């Protein structure tokens, strides 16, 4: 179908799962990565790259949406952390629920774009590398 291989479809599914997992939409990219690597372990590096890029894109989408959000009168925990520590807090952008809030809050605070991209990408990529490494050892 459409000239795509099973590996292409698996990576596309992983990308979709990774993107939605980084937004307020439901998704479980860790399970998608684990399943893909179980059935096609030769795709390890491609899968980590695809998951990292797609998950980062989802996080940046949340950050972008945060820049368009109206002012919050009572700052939440994520907002206070970002005000204090800045963009490096986005290393934790992979943490379920907290990560989404951190990305939106970083956008709302109008933190500098490129440091946010750097820290967000680093955090999300490290998570997938660690997960893939743990799965490889099983």
Q: What is the pLDDT of residues 70-96, one digit of tens each?
A: 876 677 777 787 888 999 999 999 998
Contact criterion met (CB below 8 Å) for 11 and 29: no
Q: State residue 69's pLDDT score.
A: 86
**Under 8 Å between Cβ of 72 and 42:** no
| pLDDT band per the 50, 70, 90 thresholds, residue 3 | confident
Terminal Cα distance for the chain, rounded: 33
pLDDT of residue 54: 97
As a whole number of angstroms, the distance between CA 18 and CA 37 comes to 15
Q: Report pTM.
A: 0.90
With beta carbons less than 8 A apart as the criterion, state whether 44 and 128 touch.
no
- How far is 68 from 125, CA to CA, in rounded Å? 26
46 has pLDDT over 90: yes
Percentage of residues in the chain with pLDDT exceeding 90? 70
Question: Chain centroid to CA 49: how far?
Answer: 12
Whether the Cβ atoms of residue 87 and residue 112 lie closer than 8 Å to each other? yes
pLDDT of residue 2: 74
Whether the CB-CB separation of 21 and 59 falls below 8 Å is answered with no
Q: Which of 52, 41, 60 is nearest to 125 (CA)?
A: 52
Residue 55, pLDDT score: 97
């Amino acid at each position: 179908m459409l000239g795509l291989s099973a590996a292409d479809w698996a990576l596309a599914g992983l990308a979709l799962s990774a993107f939605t997992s980084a937004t307020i939409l439901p998704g479980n990219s860790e399970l998608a990565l684990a399943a893909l690597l179980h059935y096609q372990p030769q795709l390890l590096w491609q899968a980590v790259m695809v998951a990292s890029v797609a998950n980062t894109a989802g996080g940046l989408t949340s950050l972008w949406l945060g820049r368009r959000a109206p002012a919050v009168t009572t700052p939440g925990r994520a907002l206070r952390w970002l005000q204090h520590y800045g963009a490096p807090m986005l290393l934790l952008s992979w943490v379920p629920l907290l990560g989404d809030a951190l990305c939106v809050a970083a956008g709302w605070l109008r933190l500098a774009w490129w440091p946010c991209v750097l820290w967000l990408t680093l955090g999300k990529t490290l998570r997938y590398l660690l997960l893939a490494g743990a799965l490889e050892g099983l």
